[in-house]
Structure 1
């Protein structure tokens, strides 16, 4: 079994008594909604990787282009310059798994060449060339649902049935991936909290996340510090830890296999408590 296949199999349907994997967010951009510019320099980014590893992270998710509402697109050259040197440095220095958050085929290709363990795509491999790049590799890929584009996705999101509509999107994307030569076992699904969803729709998704489990693929949940927490609680970005931890726990209870977060240490602690408690419920 290859490393990529081992990783993919380890992300199977989550069991509440075995802690979901924690994916730490590392934005190397100047304009991310939560920590824009904080880790934009190489040395600061590498120091943050070391800190997250110390805090118990399972996967580092590197993003070189902000996907916050209203974000502008980044050129391929700029994204490569932000992401690839850091990826190479992490793989040379640490053994932690690394995910690359990108929607560009060229960035995916270079990332895979330099050892990326996962590709995390908010556009679910819909951009030109992305399917072909992944078909040539054995790297797992996360398919995220987004209604619209980052610049406009929150203007007027609408669904006939938010759960049913997103599930149908996944069914169609899974079929397209398989037809392109990407094995189903390599796929991870992310319903895309905050990506073209209202406050109500986000919480409906969270409460019913388990409904995607019948697709038989690992689920990724990313709610950390998002507006669905801030708008509900009237909290600024740096005041959303309690809400982020609560949504992480709920996602774990709803069969999420990966929890994507900014606050690694606190999330790891919360999930350990949940896992320990769950052992004595049955």
Structure 2
């Protein structure tokens, strides 16, 4: 069962894909993945999010076997590490077969990067008694993202309203769902000025997402610019249940500066 209390738990990112924009999070060997995960847990994360395929325009689209080759061995090792530290391990993928294999290797949480739209992904979410991160994805998968037209808060909430009914009818327990506004995804030609305004609008109106009565999972800004720092502060002031972060030290520093505590 998912605890809906806004405890602001941090889940650190380990990227097994070589083309992540956050190159410091890339861990393409087993040893570097374990070292990265240990560092994140030592810095205060209570979960690890492992991904094997980048979602940006600069990342190659890979098939199941290529993505699994990047993850195989790392999932098992990080599952053992997380179990020893009392932490969650999610695997981030829009390919259901990757999630199926990861769960079989010890992952304890699904990060359904397809937006839980593929019927096979929905079946996995229904069949496994684990928390499920369901991000808003305006397209078939993150690499096929389209521009949102109109107020993003209204579009996102309308999408979740429809999707929640569909997921529950398919047998996914509502209590295991965690809602992600999908602000970590976007179309390839999105200018930063427009993306910044979009994210700010969403983060300043998280109460609309909380109205569904489910935990909120935010992809926290990691770049070091004034606008990214502003967005991070908005996220922290607004509160979240889970924060997917590349730099937990920076997030915790901002929390301390703002007088906000995260989960123990």
TM > 0.5 fold call:
yes
Aligned-CA RMSD value:
2.4
Tell me if the contact between 2:220 and 2:235 (Cα under 8 Å) persists in the aligned partners.
no
Unpaired segments of 5 or more residues in structure 1?
A: 226-236
1:211-258 deviation line (CA, Å, top 9, x unaligned): 211110111111323xxxxxxxxxxx5x44x65554333213223111
Q: Which residue of 2 aligns with 1:168?
A: 158
Q: 1:145 to 1:277 in 2, by over 3 A?
A: closer
Deviation at 1:131, TM superposition (A): 0.9
Deviation at 1:261, TM superposition (A): 1.1
Q: Distance in 1 between matches of 2:232 and 2:109?
A: 21
Aligned residues: 251
- Asked whether 1:153 is paired with 2:140, we answer no
From 200, 218, 221, give the equivalent of 1:221. 218
Q: Distance in 1 between matches of 2:5 and 2:219?
A: 17
Q: Which residue of 2 aligns with 1:257?
A: 241
Q: 1:33 to 1:258 in 2, by over 3 A?
A: same
1:148-183 deviation line (CA, Å, top 9, x unaligned): 3544536xx232321111101111111111111111
Q: Distance in 1 between matches of 2:220 and 2:42?
A: 22
From 46, 57, 63, give the equivalent of 2:34. 46
Q: Which residue of 2 aligns with 1:187?
A: 177
- Asked whether 1:267 is paired with 2:257, we answer no
From 113, 118, 127, give the equivalent of 2:109. 118
Which secondary structure does the structure 1 equivalent of 2:138 belong to? coil
Q: Distance in 2 between matches of 1:210 and 1:98?
A: 27
Which secondary structure does the structure 2 equivalent of 1:61 belong to? strand
Which secondary structure does the structure 2 equivalent of 1:77 belong to? helix
Q: 1:276 to 1:205 in 2, by over 3 A?
A: closer
Tell me if the contact between 2:113 and 2:142 (Cα under 8 Å) persists in the aligned partners.
no
